[in-house]
A and B are shown apart, each in its own frame.
Chain A
Amino acid sequence: MNEAEIKTAVLEVLTQVAPNVDVTTLDPKIAFHDQFEFDSLDFLNFVIALGERSGGEIPEIDYPKLASLHGCIGYFTAREKSTVE
């Protein structure tokens, strides 16, 4: 997946958990929970759903990396690379 595909997938999972989020005004660099109502259980559901979607469970220690859109894209881009290499 390229960066744009990753972004689309992440936003899809995000709106599955929190459908009321307006993704057009999302600031990719700011953590989700600092931009809209997104509590820690939402985040947990989001990360679990990301894992299911990307076909590999995400280790808990990596959770903090997925707190923002930017973080998610960086994380999955790096993971794609490491699988390819």
Chain B
Amino acid sequence: MAWDRISKSSSRLRHPPEMASYEAARRSFTWAEARSALDGLPAGRGLNIAHEAVDRHAVGSRGRRIALRWLGKDGSRRELDYDKLAALSNRFANVLRELGVGKGDTVFSLLGRVPALYVAVLGALKNGSVFCPLFSAFGPEPILSRMEIGAAKVLVTTPQLYARKVRSLRAALPGLEHVLLVGGEASEAGCQSLERTLEAAAEDFVIPPTDPEDRALLHFTSGTTGRPKGALHVHEAVVVHTASARFALDLGPDDVYWCTADPGWVTGTSYGIIAPLAIGATLVVDEADFEPERWYRILQDEKVRVWYTAPTAIRMLMKLGADLPRRFDLSALRFAASVGEPLNPEAVVWGREVLGRPFHDTWWQTETGSIMLANFAAADIKPGSMGRPLPGIEAAIVRRREDGGLEVIEEADRDGELALKSGWPSMFRGYLDEEARYRKCFAEGWYLSGDLARRDAEGYFWFLGRADDMIKSAGHLIGPFEVESALMEHPAVAEAGAIGKPDPVAMETVKAFVALMPGVRPSDELRRDILGLARERLGPAVAPREIAFLDDLPKTRSGKIMRRLLKARELGLAEGDTSTLEAGG
């Protein structure tokens, strides 16, 4: 069914939006103008994300504005103003320098939302090092593969996470020279206390010359086959981080802003750290995981004005009903946005009815570095749509031709692949050591997203699904290959295939199909055992939530497992052309 659009002209915006007219902004926008909104390093030394995010705000009385308001799990609070954040990140940059960590070396973090994370990201960027955040709920396997590919030289983590997930990997990571542990003394061999080293470091640091094209951030994303891919971003990405936060999140310097994403994923870095700080806003950071009542209390007590969250969380809040939010005063909230997977129209409308603000869906990927499509503050929302391209971004629906070329579909309402005209500043510059895979993402000057979509006559884009076997679950893109590899480690498993099973809350959840070794009988106990191993190795976000036993998995003649067929069967759909099947299905 078609949902009524949410009209903005009649809703009389209380606050003049950062972008008053979408059409006018699209016409007049230039990247040069977006760059001029940033300061650049003093004396023309280049462009560094950390300077834009913190140092340029740590001047005079502005430096005493709150950059970070941290809410601990236990109810504690800690505030860092821009001056303090600049000083601490300077100290971290000095720590790295003294450890002999230089430009282009990779600094990893395996942390939840703790203040040290923000200090580490900004300090690493100041030092010219490449920062790579890992999701703290990852199991040892995703951690190992990512640190190997990313050539981790430094890791910042907690003693608990180190003991549980990293200690056993240390021998396999000879390049990991330094581990800095947050909180207390480091009693672990081969580790140092972050606090002690910070205390010993100097508080002054001059950011060395930084070319806008210097590597800054490394974000991993999974593939359908092979190892995870490390998408590289450069310092110039901050141009789009900043502009897009104004355009798509309506974020200004006087705002209190809360991004609920985990720092281990790209949203948690681009919009959980860099963009809001570059704008000079106050960032609310909650250490705790999703907890409905706590979330409403934070929105109320911290007077959050701009909120960026995810569909899975919104749908969980919806399940709890409208009575709970009505007990809180959410009147400070001015703008709510969502990212991770397409937001269903019910959720958009629920936001307006229950929270007083409709959710504005946005679309982007690890590779794009910043928001590319959005529903905007000053434009009508079409519930269920991902919105329209940001000023400076050209998006199209395309079809790949057999010869490797591309056909741009101009006509409205046709299905195809969502593509972006390449060249925006936050576009990834490569997959680490995987030039061929990088090149495959482009054709005729377009970046091919792998998402299938449709554009309507008014230019709004609508998500249809993935063009490949990638699984979209709770905002994370999960590669089936990584899941299958972990399952194969179980001695009873002969073959494994992982698919995304539709789920009303998470969009999809990972379901695995497993064929057992000859002579092994399926049982509930075995199922638990395999599931337990997968959770242990991968962590709950990546591991399957469900395992089914099959006698054989459907394969092509060349022996490739046909995930699409597994999925079609799961959905009860027609199986399509099975002529290349090994045994006719």
Contact = CB atoms under 8 A, between A and B. Distances in A.
Nearest to B294: A64
Interface size range on B against A: 20 to 34
A38 B532 CA distance: 12
Contact of B532 (A20, A39, A64): A20
Interface string A1-45: 000000000000001111110000000000001100111111011
10 contacts: A18-B532, A18-B540, A37-B535, A38-B540, A39-B474, A41-B473, A44-B316, A60-B319, A61-B323, A64-B293
Interface in B477-519: 505-506, 509
Contacts of B540: 18, 37-39, 41-42
Contacts of B408: none
Contacts of B509: 41
A75 interface: no
A16 B316 contact: no
A21 to B, nearest CB: 8
B288 to A, nearest CB: 9
Contacts of A42: 540, 545
Contacts of B73: 34
B403 interface: no
Contact of B505 (A15, A16, A33, A44): A44
A33 B112 CA distance: 13
Given A40-B290, A40-B474, 17 more contacts: A17-B545, A18-B532, A18-B540, A19-B532, A19-B535, A20-B532, A20-B533, A37-B137, A37-B535, A38-B540, A41-B473, A41-B506, A60-B320, A61-B321, A64-B291, A64-B292, A64-B293
Nearest to B533: A20
B319 A40 contact: no
Contacts of A34: 73
Interface of B: 73, 137, 139, 289-293, 312-313, 316, 319-321, 323-324, 473-474, 505-506, 509, 528-529, 531-533, 535-536, 539-541, 545
Contacts of A45: 545
Contacts of B137: 37, 39
A16 B533 CA distance: 13
Interface size range on A against B: 20 to 34
A67 B533 CA distance: 24
Interface in A29-85: 33-34, 37-42, 44-45, 60-61, 63-64
Contacts of B533: 20
B535 A40 contact: no
Contacts of A16: 528
A40 B319 CA distance: 13
Contacts of B474: 39-41
Contacts of B291: 64
B465 to A, nearest CB: 20
Nearest to A20: B532
A41 B535 contact: no
B541 A40 contact: no
Contact of B539 (A33, A37, A63): A37
The residue among B505, B529, B535 with the most chain A CB atoms within 10 A of its own CB is B535
Across chains A and B, which 7 residue pairs bring their CB atoms closest together, nearest first? A19-B532, A20-B532, A19-B528, A40-B290, A39-B540, A20-B536, A20-B535
Nearest to A17: B545
A19 B545 contact: no
Nearest to A40: B290
Contacts of A19: 528-529, 531-532, 535
Contacts of B528: 15-16, 19
A45 B316 CA distance: 12
Contacts of A15: 528
Nearest to B317: A60
A17 to B, nearest CB: 8
A9 to B, nearest CB: 16
B321 to A, nearest CB: 6
A17 B319 CA distance: 20
A8 to B, nearest CB: 16
B110 to A, nearest CB: 13
Nearest to B290: A40
A41 B320 contact: no
B342 to A, nearest CB: 18
Contacts of B289: 33, 39-40
B471 to A, nearest CB: 13
Contacts of B324: 61
B316 A61 contact: no
Contacts of A37: 137, 139, 535, 539-540
A15 B535 CA distance: 12
B545 A40 contact: no
B312 A41 contact: yes
Contacts of A33: 289
A14 B28 CA distance: 57
Contacts of A40: 289-290, 312-313, 316, 474
Contacts of B473: 41
Contacts of B506: 41
A45 to B, nearest CB: 6
Given A16-B528, A41-B474, A41-B545, A63 B312 contact: no
Contacts of B139: 37
A64 B324 CA distance: 12
Contacts of A20: 531-533, 535-536
Nearest to B539: A37
The residue among B293, B313, B528 with the most chain A CB atoms within 10 A of its own CB is B528
A16 B509 CA distance: 16
Contacts of A39: 137, 289, 474, 540-541
